[in-house]
A and B are shown apart, each in its own frame.
Chain A
């Protein structure tokens, strides 16, 4: 079963409560039992001392002046008490009439002290007894001074012999009281626990209500309304951080979804345009009978559209891999001037034909630590971009230098018509200067996006600057030795 917060809270509350109540009950019971038993024993002792006080040692023997009528408990036929007096030699001196012919158990005990013990009464009832060994009072006969003087002189002084007294009383009353006390404690404890269970479950349910409310709200979140944040107001202080974190998570998710939707819309848009071109080219070609050359031209047009679209799909895939971090880097030492030369070669003839001056002032020994394929992709896109946007008769310049653990590469070209505000968007996916789609194909609005992601994957950075019609890209890449 799932660990339930409610159950756990209730369990701990009730468990703790029960333990406390049990300890409390035991303590209370022990104290009351002690007090009751003490009172009972005090009563027994008082009776014993009273009986002992009625025993006198006289010259002619022991006399018990005790009259049972003064203590009717020893004579009553129903649940009587008992006492028994013994001489030191074991002979019974006197016993209560309730004892009839039976006797009471004796224990060893010190002289002049009382000792208590439980015992079974002669009629089988449980009881408690006190044993008292004492020397009775010595009493001379009251006959006259002279005679007494004589006798004192004539007879040796009387030495009182030890008498043992046991007084026993039933403990039914005490036991009943204790039993009642036990029931009272158990009942009160149980009742308290039941009530606590009730109250605590209500309290816990009410206390956890914000959690339920939050759960209901979270359940109501769908992927298309992620922006509907959870309300932080009204949440208890303990839950506010949870709600805040959840809202942050939702915001991040929303952003990711938004990006995803934007990408889907962008891709759909970018696919529609070439599809429209292809469809319309084919439909127009097929709309009437034509010469073979016309069909060939239509096919060539379609083929070029397909190639452009394929390039775009490849770029998107590369981009997705770069962004998804799926690209495995094989970092090696790359001579920048060499790679720039390789990447420039395909553009050189067309650029020369347009009267554009190309100058690379890269130091021959400038190396970077990079994945050669990704760096080649980055440079190709940058150079293609420069070749495409430079005005006829313009100029493309490449510079480089090493700067403390990094290598810097700057590619600049004239003929840029972007404003600095527009230049801030050049790395956006599918963004094209002044929304022109005339150059869909070579990069399809993905070239500089690929550059940015590629450079990021290489651990470098890229920035652009537009100044007086010159578009400048500055790459910072790690040097080969850099970690």
Chain B
């Protein structure tokens, strides 16, 4: 899941980005409204965490432009403005959620997760594909009754595929939603991680979970 964090207060930017990354999100960060708007309109973010008071372009303007462009990303406003009028205005501008500073990081994380789920029309925090079970809040994965231990990068990839279970997911989609903007541009990385996942999830005698659709990408479950 790819997240854009637009926050101009350096300590907050640093800690929130770190926490989100550790929770398995691909996080792009900027402290500048203009840059934030450019990031948000050129990348398919699942969730945008948006401060309101920003240099150059303020948060509400970014929000309005995103909605005017028909961007589907889910926006969480993170601000110190706490009056009811402020919250109502933020939500009416097209925000999906509103969190007032200071906040509990756990809560921010849970809200970002909820918005990410909603990006794929999933309401259940537990994902199931055949006998594969993923608990998104704890990031634990089971195949049948046996728990599978994944690295954060493997997990993120699997979660994204599971969110879109049954669909063919292109390498580009994976690239855009799972990896950070600044990450090394090497599309082989996707194939490498798909290989890791196949190895960890494969069970002898059971049908494979991840299918390669030649020329189009990968599909988790479904099909045959």
Contacts and interface: CB of A to CB of B under 8 A. Distances in A.
Interface of A: 268-269, 272-281, 283-285, 287-288, 298, 301-302, 304-305, 434-438, 440
Interface in B1-22: 8-12, 14-16, 18-19, 22
A284 B23 CA distance: 10
Contacts of B55: 434-436, 438
Contacts of B80: 268-269, 272-273, 276
10 contacts: A272-B102, A274-B11, A276-B12, A279-B102, A281-B11, A281-B14, A281-B15, A305-B11, A435-B53, A435-B58
A268 B82 CA distance: 10
B101 to A, nearest CB: 3
A305 B10 CA distance: 10
B22 A279 contact: no
A287 B22 contact: yes
Contacts of B11: 274, 277-278, 280-281, 301-302, 304-305
Given A279-B103, A438-B10, A301 B58 contact: no
A305 B15 CA distance: 13
B81 interface: yes
A294 B105 CA distance: 18
Contacts of B104: 279, 283
Nearest to A302: B11
A280 B53 contact: no
B22 A288 contact: yes
B106 A284 contact: no
Contacts of A437: 8-9, 53
B81 A269 contact: yes
Contacts of A435: 53-55, 58
Interface of B: 8-12, 14-16, 18-19, 22, 31, 53-56, 58, 80-82, 100-106, 108
Given A279-B102, A280-B12, A302-B11, 13 more contacts: A272-B80, A272-B102, A279-B105, A280-B103, A281-B12, A281-B15, A285-B15, A287-B19, A436-B8, A436-B54, A436-B55, A437-B53, A440-B9
A362 to B, nearest CB: 33
A415 B122 CA distance: 50
A275 B100 CA distance: 11
B132 to A, nearest CB: 25
B111 to A, nearest CB: 13
Contact of A273 (B9, B14, B54, B58): B9
A280 B22 contact: no
Nearest to B17: A284
A389 to B, nearest CB: 13
List of 8 A-B pairs having minimum Cβ-Cβ separation, nearest first: A276-B101, A277-B11, A436-B55, A276-B102, A284-B19, A283-B105, A272-B80, A281-B15
Contacts of B108: 280
B9 A438 contact: yes
A374 B100 CA distance: 37
Given A281-B14, A438-B31, A272 B53 contact: no
Nearest to A278: B11
Contact of B101 (A275, A281, A305): A275
A388 to B, nearest CB: 14
B207 to A, nearest CB: 35
A278 B105 CA distance: 11
Given A305-B11, A435-B55, A437-B9, A276 B19 contact: no
Contacts of B22: 284, 287-288
Contacts of B102: 272, 275-276, 278-280
A438 B51 CA distance: 12
A480 B80 CA distance: 46
Nearest to A305: B11
A301 B9 contact: no
A111 to B, nearest CB: 115
Nearest to A434: B55
Nearest to B34: A434
A436 B56 CA distance: 8
A274 B11 CA distance: 8
Nearest to A280: B15
Contact of A277 (B9, B19, B53, B58): B9
A298 B18 CA distance: 11
Contacts of B10: 438
A305 B81 CA distance: 20
Nearest to B59: A435
Contacts of A283: 15, 19, 104-106
B58 A272 contact: no
A268 B108 CA distance: 21
Contacts of A272: 80, 82, 100-102
Contact of A438 (B8, B16, B18, B101): B8
Nearest to B107: A283
A277 B51 CA distance: 13
Nearest to A288: B22
A278 B100 CA distance: 14
A330 to B, nearest CB: 38
A280 B58 contact: no
B145 to A, nearest CB: 27
Contact of A284 (B8, B58, B81, B105): B105
A435 B15 CA distance: 21
Contacts of A274: 9, 11
B34 to A, nearest CB: 10
Nearest to B55: A436
A277 B102 CA distance: 8
B165 to A, nearest CB: 29
Nearest to B51: A437
A435 B56 CA distance: 8
A301 B56 CA distance: 26
A285 B101 CA distance: 18
Contacts of A298: 15
Contact of A280 (B8, B16, B31, B56): B16
Nearest to B16: A280
A302 B80 CA distance: 18
Nearest to A277: B11
Given A305-B11, A438-B9, A280 B81 contact: no
